[in-house]
Amino acid sequence: MASTSHRALRLLSLLGTGALRPLRELATALGVSERTARRDIETLRRLGYPVTTVHGPDGGYRLGSGHPLPPLVFDHDQAVAVAVALQTAPSSVFGLGEGAARALVTLEQAMPTALRATTKSLRLTSLRNYWEFPAPPIDPAALTAVGAAVRHRRVLVTETLRADGSRPGPGDGDFRPARRVEPHHLVVWAGRWYLVAYDLQDERWRVHRVDRLRARPTTRSFGARELPHGDLAHFVTSSHDRGDSPAAWPCTGSARLDLPARVVARWAPGGSVIEHLDGEHCRLTLGAWSWAGVAGILATFDTGLSDLHPPELAQACRRLGHRMAAAGTGEPGPAREAAPRDPSPPPHRDDG
């Protein structure tokens, strides 16, 4: 059984989230009886921590305001979470590599020996395999500006940018006038940051890639709205016009699918582009390290395909079809296509 002081720190960590915690839940987390957990709560109160009691069937304990937490009250799980988060954050936000590394060293120096050993054992080497579809890291200034507008409920004036960060001119085909939107939520999916916003001009909900926006906050505030879908993740992933563009792969092709855009958008890999054609059809543009790879991803949708481009993709689909048919009969299938000399995509080239 852990010592009283160790349990007190663990209990402080559990209550530090601000959530209401039932006594039974606290006792289970501490590995003690409810009676012992109640004594530990009294120990924290004697030390000056304002642990309040909420009575009733849905009651429990929570830590009130008015007293600072001691620095770095981490348990094992929190130490693991911090170590992993600090090492993976630079892959999604630009320019955080050095700062995250210094923060991890600073935290380790203040941690107890056992937790320091835990974080040191989790030093990661980031590798990229052929089937990852990541996005380039986002500018922290852009993320901070949008995040502040979400938090303070301030209307944004937004302009849509190209994948290279340039702003299309009025004569360009992809030019979009500036929009005034209410920023409601930030969602991260497939390494990309998306803003769920209400467009005040179109009076409809939209999903925007944060790194494809030039956002200027205003002083105009807005109130809460009923969201278009109870599951924000589902709303983002099923929105085909969320601002994605094809990722940079050795092979990129497109096909017409006999499925609605919202369905394909939900399951297409990151870095794909879905074009709405009608209520039952869409066009999917995506890439992979080989034409067989593109054909294989298209096959996962298990639907009719037509109007394939370029010809290499159509040929790969025919080869894959013959190969699958031969697999069912036990006969040898057609020879595979020649693999690229270096099938792995270059690091950080993905602008999807």
- Express each pLDDT in 167-220 by its tens digit: 887 777 667 888 999 999 998 877 788 899 999 998 999 999 898 889 999 999
Residue 47 in domain:
yes
Both 213 and 284 in a single domain?
Answer: no
Q: What does the buried/exposed string (b/e) look like for 106-137 if buried means 16 or more CB atoms within 10 Å of the residue's CB?
A: ebbeebeeebeebbeeeeeeeeeeeebbbbbb
Both 53 and 81 in a single domain?
Answer: no
Residue 290 in domain:
yes
pLDDT of residue 348: 40
**What average pLDDT does range 249-267 have in this prediction?**
93
Q: The domain containing residue 211 runs over which residues?
A: 143-237
End residue of a domain, out of 237, 267, 297: 237
End residue of a domain, out of 14, 39, 63: 63
Examine the pLDDT at 130 and tell me if it is beyond 70.
Answer: no
Alpha helices per DSSP H over the chain: 4-15, 23-30, 34-46, 76-88, 97-110, 113-120, 140-152, 232-237, 261-267, 291-299, 311-329
pLDDT classification of 236: cutoffs 50, 70, 90: confident
List, for residues 297-312, the tens digit of each pLDDT value.
999 999 999 999 999 9
Q: How far apart are CA 34 and CA 248, in angstroms?
A: 57
Examine the pLDDT at 279 and tell me if it is beyond 50.
Answer: yes
Residue 348 in domain:
no
Greater confidence (146 vs 168) lies with: 146
pTM over 0.75: no
Both 215 and 298 in a single domain?
Answer: no
Residue 211 in domain:
yes
DSSP 3-state assignment of 234? helix
Both 110 and 47 in a single domain?
Answer: no
pLDDT of residue 72: 59
Both 207 and 163 in a single domain?
Answer: yes
Q: How far apart are CA 168 and CA 161, in angstroms?
A: 7
Tell me what the pLDDT averaged over the chain comes to.
Answer: 82
Q: CA distances (Å), 92 to each of 84, 140, 142, 222, 337, in order?
A: 13, 10, 13, 29, 34
pLDDT of residue 80: 78
Both 180 and 206 in a single domain?
Answer: yes
Greater confidence (287 vs 72) lies with: 287
Both 203 and 168 in a single domain?
Answer: yes
Q: How many domains does the chain have?
A: 4
CB 243 within 8 A of CB 249: no
pLDDT of residue 351: 55
Residue 125 in domain:
no
End residue of a domain, out of 63, 84, 110: 63
Of 67, 69, 91, the closest CA to residue 78 belongs to: 69
pLDDT of residue 349: 42
Choose the most confident range, by mean pLDDT, from 44-53, 125-134, 147-156.
Answer: 147-156
